[in-house]
Structure 1
Amino acid sequence: LQKAWAQVLQKGADKIRTSDHFFRIGGDSISAILLVSRFQQLGYQFTIPLVYQYPKLNEQALMSIQSGNMTNEPLLTKYDFPHLALSDTGFQTILTQIHQRGISLAQVEDILPCVTIQGGLLMNLTSDPSAYLIQMAIKLTGQLDVDRLVQAWASVANQHSPLRTYFIESPNTLSQGFLQVVLSSLSTSWTISDQPLDSLEVFFIENRWQGFSLQEHMVRNFVFPTTNSQVHEIIITIHHSLMDGWSLPLLLQEWMVAYHNHMLAVPPPQTNFPTVVKYISQSDPALAQVFWARYLHNAIITPAPLLYPKYIGPVGHTVYSTLLDISKAQLIQATQSIGISIATLFQAAYALVLGRLLNQDDVTFGMIISGRNLNIPSMDTVIGPCTNTVPYRAQLGSSPLGSWLESLYKDQVDMI
């Protein structure tokens, strides 16, 4: 072990005493990774957390002899997670980050790459901790058992990995630089107040301002009483990288069922989110590259025009405006007669507006898709961030309107 220290720290072995502290004679997080790798090459079952827990040479020697003391901390290797395709050094970097979060390796259920939408959302955390933060307020009426409510949430979380997930930085460019660590159990932060809210709007602003960081579990829940003893306000705060809009009603439904049927176990999902992640990571990127290269061949760059010069709208707000008095039933009837979807109709309309504003006959803009069309059973029941953003291209030629809409719809089908 002394020779391993000497090699890693680039010191003479005779300069290292048995009582020396690894981090006080030149060791750091990177050299700790190299030290563990060297120990494992020598046949010692040693981990990154143990280097931090037992930093002295004599302590590490004792731990290496008393192998029975190490059985509580399982030895994880990169081969336990073949879908990550990491080097030894890269995997040790991951273990270091897990330890720095105070997470025991025994808690680690899985380590997964992030899907594309997750990586994109997480990239904004450093510059804006409030970006892509979801806030929901729910009013529950009747006598509320808060302990049972919290336990019901925990029961649902046990079946859905996004509610037990931390994010860490990836040592390579995999999934835009982030990985997700799924824990076997993880307690959600609950704040149970005995005072009503003065203003829900003010609370939302302050809660959003607090935001999230990559170093924390990005779920926070609150319970507030109201002036009516039979009414409580429940506020859920969760980062969009853990949940999409499709998932939220599913989550709330399972939560309420678990609350009202607390004697019954929450059934496991037919398809869980890790299954989706692994399916995507195992798909052939060459096929996608061929499709998008053809689809975007000679596409013209489309700048995003502002509605008004120097206009900056309110962040996180929605503006509703009725322009045409056309019912949804009429829209459905019109699109069905052509054989397209309502979504295609709106995308075509937006493309026409962009084309006129920019004086272009070829426009491309981002389109959010549900991601629920993967060839996986029960995708409609998956709780997790399955959405994705893809380029949507519309070439504004002189074709008849019906034919043009049909071609746009065909392109959407081909994307699937």
Structure 2
Amino acid sequence: MVPTVWLAVEQMPRAASGKLDRAAIRVWLKAKNLSSAKAALNVRMTAPLTPPAAAGERLLQSVWSAVLGLPQQDIGRESSFMQLGGDSILAMQVASRCHKRGMQTTTAALLRGQSLAAIAESSCLIEPAGDAVAASCNGIPSEDNRLVKPAAAIPSVFDSRLSQLGRSKAHFRRGNIERIVPATDLQALMLAVGQLGDRAFHVEFKLELRPSLESAGLRRACEQVVLHHPILRSVYFQHGQALSHAVLKALPPDAVVEVEERDDSPSTVTFEEGTTLARFRLFSDGQLCHRLCLEIHHALYDALSLDLIFRDLDRAYASKRLSDGLHFHSWVSHVEALDRSPPRKYWREVLEASSMSDLVRPYAGATRQGHPLDERMQIRVPLQNLQTSCGTPSSVMKAAWALLLSQALETKDVTFGEVSTNRYLPVPGLHEVRGPCLNLLPVRARLDEGMTLASLITQVQDQSVASLPHHHLGFRSIIKDCTAWPRWTRFSTLLTYQNHGSMSPSLRIGDSDFALPSRGRLGDTADISLFATPGSEDLEIELYYSSRTFPSEQISWISRSLVTILEGIPSSLAENISLVKDSLRQSVGSYVQDPSRSAPPPDLLGGHPRDPSAQAREMVLEAWRELELFSQDQSEDCSMFSCGADVVTALLLSKYYLSRGYDLSTNDIIRHPTRSMQGYLVDLKEKRGLETRLDGIKV
């Protein structure tokens, strides 16, 4: 509530009743030329700063200066990292650099608005550069040395499944597996949604190399990168109630291939158990490579690790030393070993009595609409609108989206999802983990009509900082253990604030500079996915949706409302939420849901007989028991979604049936969610398989 700009006036406008005429003030402010006031906000503080004295303070000053791009003399003991322009991604870089130079601090400490002196006092000095260093002080947990131990032995519990898969895939033998860890919740979700159609999350990066590069050298570099990044040698398979992630020791078959220059065939990377999901294709004439294509599933990378892949490709081509960041499977093992009680406690408290804010009304058991997000709308607003003293631009964006959902759904309590980089634990080198640490997390906002917009932003900022130590708890675990939501619940809307700044607009391999164009589809992980990317002057917002889910009128309302909220922030921070909503309603009207878009699906068996054979019944019962969906009082017509299933469960069931010889897709499982329906499909697949076998027999 501390103003950043003061305007002197001789009198305040009054309404006929004698009350303050807020509408007249808003009109006046919009017409007022505030350029000089805005310019004043960018002027460095003229008040003298106290130079850092202690060693820890000087170290922090040096690191802040490097990360924020500020002169050291502009950073004093009184300076706040956040007010100097810091955000969560920059704080993550500061924490990593501090550890390398001998100071252990946390991302959360940097984002609480504390002074440099206070942060230095709460941190501790350690031995620098030690990947195996263990330190613990002032409540900061020590590094877990499991992160740097050699590969662990493969548990014998996997022997039967590995033997089964190894019969069809020679590279999947036990001796060729370096490590097995669980797939993360987001990896499992991406792989499951990618099975619903249209190859969602299969991404292709095509690099036009100008000038061309020597083919043999580039091929060796690609092979070296695959061997150096275990995530590129990873395969996935179903085992029990989880999707597991195995790292192969040797270079996988077809990981790097050369094709003719004119060969423009589509990507052939597909998700099957035991197959890798990354491939380099070199388009060459035998001597020179003119184009390089990386086909990769999004379950294998995030923006930070993708940048490491391409930078290592350049280093390998030049015969330089490659990056030394943590292996992804080491990071997963570390997270799996952590005590889950604190994050569960935190998320239970945050989400108590909450519900998902659905822009599209779900119906029980319909875990997915099945429509890829193939439509896109772009919005641009001045980035300076999001720069307030109440919170980071990311928190301002989340508050604006919360306000929009509150207005659309006429509720004071909203919950939506955000994509987290999930690199906030006090682990040395976490910024350079070679793999996708991403997680989906809930954001909850309570909008009391008497609160101001500034208070809402502060509430979101406080929750954002408090949640940082708990970002590593997978979202499926959060839904299962920390909420009363149905297990099949998904985030209706997902927000990604892409302030990582890791990917340069152009990259280089050898002497060749190139852009990084990509081609791929977003899967049906949410009804709407928003990507907000800050530029030098504007915030670019991309809104992805399916036209089969949202009519144009709804999308128009959403985009116009978001622009109205964000453009009005500088002058509406001190206004009550109720007044902001009234103004929004006058500008864009009300949101109207389309009930026809949430009607339940028809009878998917189309009147076919539903009495499966005894063999099929036993097969389905065995599968449901394996995934802990079966209970003694359960009827055959009970939906698996009422028994704790979600879209990942559907994928696991699909792989289980396939391992027993029945090709039921993830879509088949979702559309036929009961035991009786799945039993019928098992009989149907067996019948079709028999017909196929008899087709080749001469009678």
TM over 0.5: yes
Check if 1:375 corresponds to 2:390. no
Give the TM-score normalised by structure 2. Answer: 0.41
Residue correspondence of structure 1 range 102-113 to structure 2 within 5 A: 102=170, 103-113=172-182
Q: Give yes or no for contact 2:191–2:271 (8 Å, CA) kept in 1.
A: no
CA offsets 1:153-205 (integer angstroms, 9 cap, x no match): 2212222210111111122x2xxx2111111122343342333367xxxx6xx
- In the TM superposition, residue 221 of structure 1 has moved relative to its aligned partner by 2.3
CA contact (8 A) 1:302 1:364 kept: yes
Instruction: Name the residue aligned to 1:155.
Output: 224
User: Could you tell me how far 1:359 is from its partner in structure 2?
Assistant: 0.9
Q: Which residue of 2 aligns with 1:385?
A: 436
* Residue 292, structure 1, aligned to residue 347, structure 2: yes
Q: 2:153 aligns with which of 80, 84, 87?
A: 80
* Equivalent in the alignment of 1:412: 464
| Contact 2:308/2:323 (8 A) holds in 1 | no
User: Partners in 1 of 2:327 and 2:405 — Cα distance?
Assistant: 39
**2:553 corresponding residue in structure 1:** none
- For residues 336-385 of structure 1, the C-alpha deviation after alignment (integer angstroms, 9 at most, x for no partner) is x32x1111111111111111111111111111000111221111111201
**1:42 is matched with which residue?**
none
- Native 8 Å contact 1:159 1:269 kept in 2: no
Shift of 1:212: 3.2
Tell me the SS of whatever aligns to 2:275: coil
Per the alignment, in what secondary structure is the counterpart of residue 419 of structure 2? strand
Read off the aligned partner of 2:403 and give its amino acid letter: L
Letter in 1 for 2:407: R
Question: Which of residues 290, 295, 303 is equivalent to 1:237?
Answer: 295
Question: Structure 1 residues 317 and 136 mapped into 2: Cα distance closer, same or farther (>3 Å)?
Answer: farther
**CA shift in 2, pair 1:119/1:314, >3 Å:** closer
CA RMSD of aligned residues (A): 2.8
The aligned amino acid for 1:145 is: E
2:281 aligned residue: 222
Paired residue type of 1:221: F
Name the structure 2 match of 1:178: 243
Preserved CA contact (<8 Å) 2:282 2:289: no
Matches within 5 A, 1:2-81: 80-81=153-154
| Map of 1:99 onto structure 2 | 166
1:359–1:111: structure 2 CA closer, same or farther, 3 Å change rule?
A: same
Match status 1:130 vs 2:189: no
Distance of 2:204 and 2:359 partners within structure 1: 28
**Partners of 1:349 and 1:268 in 2: CA distance:** 39
- What is the CA–CA distance in structure 2 between the aligned matches of 1:244 and 1:98, rounded to whole Å? 28
One of 255, 267, 273 as aligned partner of 1:189:
255
Q: Is the 8 A contact 2:229 2:327 kept in 1?
A: yes
User: Residue 393 of structure 1: CA displacement?
Assistant: 0.9
What residue is the counterpart of 2:305 in the other structure? 247
Q: Give the secondary-structure state (helix, strand or coil) at the position aligned to 2:213.
A: coil
Q: Secondary structure at the residue paired with 2:295?
A: strand
Unaligned runs of 5+ in 2: 1-151, 362-368, 469-699
Corresponding residue number in structure 1 for 2:267: 207
**CA separation of 1:372 and 1:97: change in aligned 2, threshold 3 A:** farther
1:25 aligned partner: none
Partner Cα separation in structure 2 for residue 362 and residue 396 of structure 1: 6
1:110 match: secondary structure: strand
Aligned residue number for residue 28 of structure 1: none
Q: CA deviation at 1:225?
A: 5.3
Task: Note the residue ranges of structure 1 that are not aligned, 5 or more in a row.
Answer: 1-78, 83-87
Distance 2:433 2:295 in 1: 20
**Counterpart amino acid of 1:399?**
M
Aligned residues between the structures: 305
Equivalent residue in structure 1 for 2:399, among 348, 353, 357: 348
1:11 corresponds to: none
Q: Secondary structure at the match of 1:234?
A: strand
Percent sequence identity over aligned pairs? 23
Select the residue among 389, 414, 424 that pairs with 1:363.
414
- CA deviations over 1:106-154 (Å, ceiling 9, x no partner): 2111111122211222223443371211211112122422221121122
- Structure 2 vs 1, CA of residues 305 and 349 (structure 1 numbering), >3 Å: closer, same or farther? farther
Q: Following TM superposition, by how much is the alpha carbon of 1:411 offset from its aligned partner in structure 2, in angstroms?
A: 0.5
Aligned-partner Cα distance in 2 for 1:129–1:168: 21
TM-score (norm 1): 0.67
Match of 2:324 among 259, 264, 269: 269
Q: CA 1:165/1:231 → structure 2, altered by over 3 Å: closer, same or farther?
A: closer
1:291-349 Cα shifts (integer Å, max 9, x gaps)? 1111001113311349xxxx998745643233x4x2x3x246x23x32x1111111111
Task: Sort the Cα spacing of 1:380 and 1:292 in 2 relative to 1 into closer, same or farther, 3 A.
Answer: same
Hey, what does 2:209 align to over in structure 1? 140
Deviation at 1:410, TM superposition (A): 0.9
- Quick one: distance in 1 between partners of 2:447 and 2:301? 36
